[in-house]
Each structure stands twice: as structure tokens, then as C-alpha cells.
Amino acid sequence: MITRSPEIDALIADDAPVAIGVSGGKDSQAAALATFAYLDSVGHKGPRILIHADLGSVEWDDSFRICEELAEYLECDLVVVRRKAGGLMERWESRWLSSKTRYEMLSTVTLVPCWSTPAMRFCTSEQKTHVIMAELKGRFKGQKIINVTGVRREESATRSRMSVADSDAAGQVWTWRPIIDLTLDQVFAMVDASGLHPHPAYRIYGMGRVSCRFCIMSSMPDMLAASAQPESHDLYRQMVQLEIDSSFAFQGARWLGDVAPQLLPPEMIKGLALAKNKAALRKDIEARITRPMLYVKGWPTRMLTDDEAALMASVRRQVSDLYGFKSDCLDVPSIHERYAFLLAESARKAAA
């Protein structure tokens, strides 16, 4: 049931600390069970912990309980870490405020979405990976650490190409994916055989995937199932309100507000319709910006021509009017001045 690598075997033989990331989902349950059984079988005597990244209000009520039950079953400590600046919902809301400010200052070319995306999963990197790694490196200073995750190849094309194990740049933390080759049926069989119960979202709520209540990766059936649970209703309305405020749909082209409109009061139904219209208008306006003018790493890389600056000014005036922003740089001279300042700042930092 365990997929191994020579590097991980060597670390286990040296009794390296082992930390297993747990979310309350079936895969992390199975990863913990399989890892502990294997470590016991080879006589590993190093420290072992379960570590859970608490994402705040977006999590299911039962997720932490599942993690606690798993820790009790395995007779090990459960370490809980959190992002100091708040949970994921707070991150999405603050990202929208930041997007507005950056647009008003002309620190970005187009409005930036507030939500995580499959291509930009800061929900994972900031809320989980960074805080877990910081905890492990502080807890096991100077030691090589095995960080276990429940990733499986069967889950997606991207995960099918993942290695069994790899290390961070410093070679201190090795991420091990011991159940990478297990099937869904094998995972559930392992959890059932232990006498533990999987998260109720699977067999009671009818969901295929358990992470946040509403996830950027959720299928429509999973979002419908999540919205049917009373514990999700307040979060649902809070997330739809952010769709309304930002005019960005939760899943790209799919609006969360369309999943369970019966949960929304009339004023939110009206606000959602206005947000969709605003989003369509914004896309049409911003589509006028030519590709060479768009934001790239290191932006801005050059001054705009007068024609480009005029186009930028026109777009910014229309978007600012649409959203009620108090934006700077709404004419050609101020846009040239802003670009010159940003280029000078970039050159100064590069020379420092």
C-alpha cells in the first residue's frame, strides 16, 4: 500500500521526524494510516506528528473533529497552524480591497480577481504550505524532515505526473507521497478497515471531494451538495456578497450565486444580476487593451506611446466610472508620469 523512494527510506532509517498533513479528507486519513503502519513495521523511532492548517470559516465543521479522531487513533500529537493574517475568506476579501487600491494607483493594468484559481492556488500556498513549512522548520530545527501528503495520481493529470518524493531547495524538507498509487476504493477501504469514519461530506452529504465547503475546484454537484447543508449558508451568502462587490465569479465563468439562489435575499439577487452585467462591461472595456500593454512580470518594461497612453486613459476612466473608483492617472500626461516613476523605481532597486 506504500510507495517508497530511496531518499525517504534513508531518512526513515535515520529516524527523521515525520509530519503528516491532515485536512479531514479521506486521502490524508489514508496517508496517515499507511505511513504509521509502515513506520512501525520498519522500526522508525523518530518524532511523528499530524499537522493541520486551519483555513478558518471556509472549513467544514467536522473537519477538525476528523483530524482529532485520527490523532487519537494513532496516539500522536495534532499540531494546528493558521495564517496570522486570517483565514481564506479574509484573504479573498482583502485581495479584493488590494485589487481596488492597486487599480486606482495604476499599479496594475486590469482589475485583478479576488478569488484563487486552479492556476493561482494561493489558497494552498499561503494558507497551507507556507504556514506548515514554517512550523516544521521551527519545530525540528537543523533536522531533515519528512512531510507526508495524501496526493494520489488518480486525482488529476497534473498529479499523475508527480514524483513519489522531492525536496525543497535547501534539502531540509522532503515531501513524500506514500499513497500516490492508491485508487479511490483502496483509500476508502483503508479508512473503513481502521474502524474510523470518513468525513460525513462523502457518504452523508454526497460529495466527491472534501476540502473547503465551496472550493475553486468543486464540481457543480459538490457545490449543490455543500449549499444544501445549513452550516454552509452563512458562508455561502458571504462569498456571494464578494462576487457582487467585485463582479468576479467564484469559478471563472461560474457564479456561486447561481448555485443556490434560494438562499439569497431579494437585494442580493438584484445585486448579483448587476454584478454580472458589470463584469460583462468590464471585460468588453478591458479587451481594448493591446497585448503589449498588458501586465507581465517586471511591469512596466517600457514607456507607452502616446496612442497607448490615450487608450489606457480611456479604459481606466470607463472602468473607474463603472466601479465608482477614485482612480489616479486618467489622462495621457499622468499615465506617462506614472510609468516613468515606476521604471525609475525599478532601475533604482536593480542597482541597489
pLDDT at residue 158, rounded to an integer = 87
pLDDT of res. 124: 77
For the chain, how many structural domains are there in total?
Answer: 3
What is the Cα–Cα distance from 212 to 351, expressed in whole angstroms?
44
pLDDT for position 148: 97
From residue 93, give the alpha-carbon distance in Å to each of 54, 104, 115, 246, 276. Answer: 17, 17, 9, 9, 18
Which percentage of the chain shows pLDDT scores above 90?
91
Residue 210 within a domain:
no
**What integer pLDDT is reported at residue 194 of this predicted model?**
97
Report residue 50's pLDDT band, with 50, 70 and 90 as the boundaries: very high
Which residue would you say has higher pLDDT here, 58 or 160? 58
- Does 324 reside within a domain? yes
Q: Domain limits at 229?
A: 221-286
Confidence of residue 297 (pLDDT cuts 50, 70, 90): very high
Q: Both 328 and 253 in a single domain?
A: no
Please say if the pLDDT value at position 35 is more than 90: yes
Instruction: Evaluate whether residue 235 is within a structural domain.
Output: yes
Asked if residue 302 and residue 254 are part of one domain, the reply reads no
| Domain identity same for 261 and 334 | no
Q: How far is CA 160 from the centre of its chain?
A: 20
Average pLDDT over residues 223-237: 97
Domain boundary residue, one of 246, 268, 286: 286
Whether residues 173 and 273 share a domain: the answer is no
Task: Using pLDDT thresholds of 50, 70 and 90, give the confidence band for residue 128.
Answer: confident
In the structure, what pLDDT confidence band is assigned to residue 281 with cuts at 50, 70 and 90? very high
Q: Do the domain assignments include residue 42?
A: yes
Residues 143 and 129 in one domain: yes
Domain assignment present for 67: yes
pLDDT at residue 118 in the model: 83
**Percent residues over pLDDT 70 in the chain:** 100
Residue 314 lies in a domain: yes
- 300 and 279 inside one domain: no
- Compute the average pLDDT of residues 88-102: 96
pTM of the full predicted structure?
Answer: 0.92
Residues 57 and 156 in one domain: yes
pLDDT digits (tens, 9 = 90+) for 300-319: 999 999 999 999 999 999 99
Does a structural domain hold residue 99? no
What's 57's domain CATH number? 3.40.50.620
The rounded distance, in Å, linking the Cα atoms of 309 and 157 is 42
pLDDT category at 271 given cuts 50, 70, 90 is: very high
Residue 125 has pLDDT above 90, yes or no: no
Q: Are residues 259 and 319 both part of a single domain?
A: no
> Does the pLDDT at position 54 exceed 80?
yes
CA atoms within 13 A on the CB side of 47: 17
Strand 18-21 relative to strand 48-53, pairing: parallel
pLDDT over 80 (residue 152)? yes
Q: For residue 114, what pLDDT is reported?
A: 96
330 and 243 within one domain? no
- Do 68 and 130 belong to one domain? yes
| Residue ranges with strand state E in the chain | 18-21, 48-53, 77-81, 145-148, 165-167, 173-176
Q: To 10 degrees, what angle do helices 233-246 and 220-227 make?
A: 120
Over the chain, what is the mean pLDDT?
Answer: 95
Query: Per DSSP, what are the bridge partners of residue 120?
Result: 117
Peptide bond into 6 cis (omega under 30): no
